[in-house]
């Protein structure tokens, strides 16, 4: 069984985001970009399935600017076997919407016929949490979002999902789409020898047009603004003072 | 303009707060029809019919919808979608699972975690862990939206909408429910609680999390946690507050042994009053705190519990 892992190149989670003064968006020029953290978890899970003999090949896919090949090299260094880069934008500020991403991924699924697609649950830039579910709709596959544990068992997968009330375990028929939550695993770091080896692994380059997908956005970004600032607070010197302040403020 | 609103129902019980907040968010968009889906949904539907501003409640009660699996629920919503300009729900894990699937089946984008309605096509939502607020205008024929409940007030009750049964849709038969692991608790629900007390890595262990829980119980509060506390096994996953956990905006939020990473702030910085207790005076949490106390939590929290 092949496992397909879509990985997105996003602003590094440690970088402080700056909104551009003209309200046109967030400044992504010269900031550190990394693999979306949920996608690192997805790559790790796919590699573990291969190591356990449940997957035959791990294919990483990224859709975006040309530089997303760095993200794919990271996936290859972690242990993915090959990668597909779909160039769909020239400028990093151009974000491809989940619907278009899902359409491209659906076309790749048709070509590659993976038994499992493991996406992240959410891209930490647009915070949409949509692509995996949309891909499941377009392929007509089952979906198991927010995976806390994943177990492949013959032609099905058992997934414990992180939900509002706790954990929900479901069984999905393969092929299926799974999205990762934070507790699924702890991703490995790529070792130096593996980073070197990754340079020789195959990385195919395609365009959105190769898959006949129109990536024109459905949502027009009218403006991007800074969030409201909180008024400065005060430091208290003791628990007694804290209790008094809370009483004054009517909070307790 | 007409809105179809997926009610939040867990095991036959209506999540009144989340559903009523979504109703008030949806009100400016048109007449609101609520859809109650579940293996037992009639009681929840009747309760939803009392939310002011609801015009009608559709009831789809069938064993097929027992655990609100995404595939059959999305198929049902799509079969009912004709005639609605907006398909909406509160941004719960259930709705976040289902609505993007609905949107793709309708060939439209989804707008998740919307925090404000500008007009029928234009909405505001946070991006980058709440470090930027985006205003987006949808060009799609049907708008599929989840509303972040922490930013809307619940619609009042007192309405009496009519109930109408709808037949169950097809069963795609792709997934099967196995079990739920839900911890029973007498505490208020995290996203609707008036007070939340959260613990972080600084609490140190699952046993010591009892210090946090005691303070919460004294205040009648819900308990939350940082990702680090959940990852370390001090607290269950459904207590996580943050960018990728629950978003809360209570009247009072008490952060204990939490450093204040942007991913955590994303889930609580709209709280009315924030209290931070941390032994490191440089901790970023103090930048958003109304009242900060530099102290060892193992001393300060029991003392606070005692003195309240
Ligand atoms: C993709 C992604 C998603 C994430 N999503 C979330 C999310 O939804 N929610 C979330 O919370 N985090 C999230 N994070 C993690 C986030 O970046 C931080 O790592 C996390 O919030 C840190 O938790 P913490 O503050 O408990 O731990 P730490 O940062 O380790 O802070 C512990 C604090 O406890 C204090 N302390 C220690 N001992 C004591 C004591 N005895 N008394 C008083 N204070 C003490 C320390 O001074 C320190 O400030 C996410 C990260 C990523 C990459
Ligand atoms: N441009 C992209 N390229 C590759 N994978 C993507 C892309 N956008 C989204 N994804 C995948 O979909 C997941 C959820 O993203 P989103 O729906 O945008 O929050 C990510 O964690 C990735 O696995």
Condensed to tens digits (0 to 9), the pLDDT of residues B13-61 reads 999 999 999 999 999 999 999 999 999 999 999 999 999 999 999 999 9
A11 and chain B in contact, CB less than 8 A: yes
At residue B131, the 3 state secondary structure works out as coil
Residues 6+ positions from B144 with CB-CB distance below 8 Å = B86, B87, B88, B99, B100, B102, B103, B106, B108, B109, B110, B111
Rounded to whole angstroms, the Cα distance separating A243 from B215 reads: 13
Reply yes or no: is the peptide bond before residue A175 cis, omega within 30 of 0.
yes
Condensed to tens digits (0 to 9), the pLDDT of residues B77-119 reads 999 999 999 999 999 999 999 999 999 999 999 999 999 999 9
Q: Where in chain B is the domain with CATH 3.40.50.1220?
A: 195-307
Distance A192 CA to ligand 1 centre (A): 29
Query: Using CB atoms, which residue from B74, B111, B175 is nearest to A170?
Result: B175
Condensed to tens digits (0 to 9), the pLDDT of residues A20-37 reads 999 999 999 999 999 999
Rounded to whole angstroms, the Cα distance separating B37 from B89 reads: 12
Is residue B143 within 8 A of residue B106, CB to CB? The reply is no
Please state, for a pLDDT cut of 90, what percent of chain A lies above it. Answer: 98
A window 197-236, beta carbon within 8 A of B:
217-227, 230-231, 233-236
**Spans of all domains in chain A:** 2-227
The DSSP bridge partners found for residue B27 are none
Q: Which residue of B has its CA nearest to A178?
A: B97
Condensed to tens digits (0 to 9), the pLDDT of residues A102-119 reads 999 999 999 999 999 999
Rounded to whole angstroms, the Cα distance separating B301 from B308 reads: 11
- Predicted local distance difference test score (pLDDT) of residue B183: 85
Q: Is A74 in the pocket of ligand 2 (CB under 6 A)?
A: no
Q: Which of B66, B113, B131 to mutate to test the interface with A (most CBs of A within 10 A)?
A: B131
The DSSP bridge partners found for residue A4 are A59, A117
Is residue B258 within 8 A of residue B264, CB to CB? The reply is yes
> At A108, which helix (H) or strand (E)?
helix A98-112
pTM beyond cutoff 0.95: yes
Is residue A13 within 8 A of residue B266, CB to CB? The reply is no
Rounded to whole angstroms, the Cα distance separating A116 from A46 reads: 9
Which tokens go with A211? 């898959």
Domain boundaries B195-307, corresponding CATH code = 3.40.50.1220
What is the rounded average pLDDT of the residues B142-148? 98
Q: Where in chain B is the domain with CATH 3.40.50.620?
A: 2-165
Please state, for a pLDDT cut of 90, what percent of chain B lies above it. Answer: 98
Query: Does residue B184 surpass a pLDDT of 90?
Result: no
Q: Domain A2-227 falls in which CATH fold?
A: Rossmann fold (3.40.50)
Q: What separation in angstroms does the CA of B62 have from each of A45, A140, A165, B29?
A: 35, 22, 22, 29
Cα atoms found within 13 Å of the Cα of residue A221, Cβ hemisphere only:
21
Rounded to whole angstroms, the Cα distance separating B130 from B149 reads: 15
Is residue B167 within 8 A of residue B79, CB to CB? The reply is no
Rounded to whole angstroms, the Cα distance separating B300 from A208 reads: 57
Please state, for a pLDDT cut of 70, what percent of chain A lies above it. Answer: 100
Condensed to tens digits (0 to 9), the pLDDT of residues A70-108 reads 999 999 999 999 999 999 999 999 999 999 999 999 999
Query: What mean pLDDT, rounded, does chain B reach?
Result: 97
Q: Domain B2-165 falls in which CATH fold?
A: Rossmann fold (3.40.50)
Please state, for a pLDDT cut of 70, what percent of chain B lies above it. Answer: 100
A window 89-118, beta carbon within 8 A of B:
97-99, 102
Q: Nearest 5 degrees, angle CA B260-CA B94-CA A14?
A: 25
What is the rounded average pLDDT of the residues A194-204? 97
CB atoms inside a 10 Å sphere around CB B92: 24
Q: Is the ipTM of this complex over 0.95?
A: yes
Chain A hits for B183, CB-CB cut-off 8 Å, are 166
């Amino acid at each position: 069984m092949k496992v397909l892992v879509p990985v997105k190149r996003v602003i590094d989670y440690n970088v402080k985001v700056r909104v551009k003064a003209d309200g046109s968006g967030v400044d992504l020029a010269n900031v550190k970009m990394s693999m979306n953290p949920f996608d690192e978890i997805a790559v790790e899970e796919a590699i573990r399935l291969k190591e356990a003999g449940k997957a035959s090949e791990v294919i990483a896919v990224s859709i975006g600017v040309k530089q997303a090949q760095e993200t794919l090299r990271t996936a290859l260094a972690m242990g993915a076997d090959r990668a597909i880069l779909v160039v769909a934008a020239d400028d990093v500020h151009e974000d491809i919407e989940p619907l278009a991403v899902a359409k491209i991924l659906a076309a790749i699924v048709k070509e590659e016929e993976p038994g499992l697609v493991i996406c992240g649950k959410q891209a930490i830039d647009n915070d949409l949490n949509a692509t995996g579910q949309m891909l499941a709709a377009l392929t007509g596959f089952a979906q198991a979002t927010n995976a806390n544990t994943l177990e492949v068992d013959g032609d099905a997968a058992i997934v414990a999902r992180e939900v509002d009330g706790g954990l929900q375990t479901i069984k999905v028929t393969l092929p299926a789409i799974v999205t990762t939550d934070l507790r699924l695993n702890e991703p490995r770091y790529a070792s130096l020898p593996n980073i070197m080896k990754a340079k020789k692994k195959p990385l195919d380059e395609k365009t959105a047009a190769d898959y006949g997908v129109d990536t024109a956005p459905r949502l027009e970004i009218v403006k991007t603004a800074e969030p409201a600032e909180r008024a400065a607070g005060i430091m208290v010197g003791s628990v007694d003072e804290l209790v008094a302040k809370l009483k004054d403020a009517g909070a307790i | 303009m007409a809105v179809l609103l997926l009610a939040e129902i867990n095991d036959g019980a209506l999540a009144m707060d989340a559903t009523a907040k979504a109703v008030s968010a949806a009100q400016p968009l048109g007449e609101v029809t609520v859809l109650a889906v579940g293996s037992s949904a009639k009681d929840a539907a009747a309760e939803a019919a009392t939310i002011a501003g609801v015009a009608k409640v559709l009831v789809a009660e069938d064993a097929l919808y027992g655990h609100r699996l995404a595939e059959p629920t999305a198929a049902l919503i799509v079969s009912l979608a004709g005639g609605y300009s907006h398909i909406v729900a509160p941004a719960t894990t259930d709705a976040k699972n289902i609505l993007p699937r609905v949107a793709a089946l309708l060939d439209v984008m989804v707008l998740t975690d919307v925090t404000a309605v500008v007009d029928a096509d234009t909405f505001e939502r946070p991006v980058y862990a709440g470090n930027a607020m985006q205003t987006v205008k949808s060009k799609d024929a049907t708008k599929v939206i989840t509303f972040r409940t922490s930013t809307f007030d619940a619609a009042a009750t007192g309405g009496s909408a009519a109930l109408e049964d709808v037949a169950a849709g097809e069963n795609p038969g792709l997934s099967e429910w196995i079990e739920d692991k839900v911890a029973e608790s007498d505490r208020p629900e995290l996203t609707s609680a008036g007070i939340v007390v959260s613990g972080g890595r600084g609490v140190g262990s699952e046993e010591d999390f009892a210090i946090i829980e005691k303070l919460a119980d004294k205040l009648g509060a819900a308990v939350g946690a940082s990702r680090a506390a959940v990852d370390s096994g001090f607290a269950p996953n459904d207590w996580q507050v943050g960018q990728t956990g629950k978003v809360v905006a209570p009247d009072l939020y008490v952060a204990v042994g939490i450093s204040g990473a942007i991913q955590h702030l994303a889930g609580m910085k709209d709280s009315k009053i924030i209290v931070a207790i941390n032994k490191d005076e440089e901790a970023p949490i103090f930048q958003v705190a109304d009242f900060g106390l530099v102290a060892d939590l193992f001393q300060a929290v029991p003392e606070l519990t005692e003195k309240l």
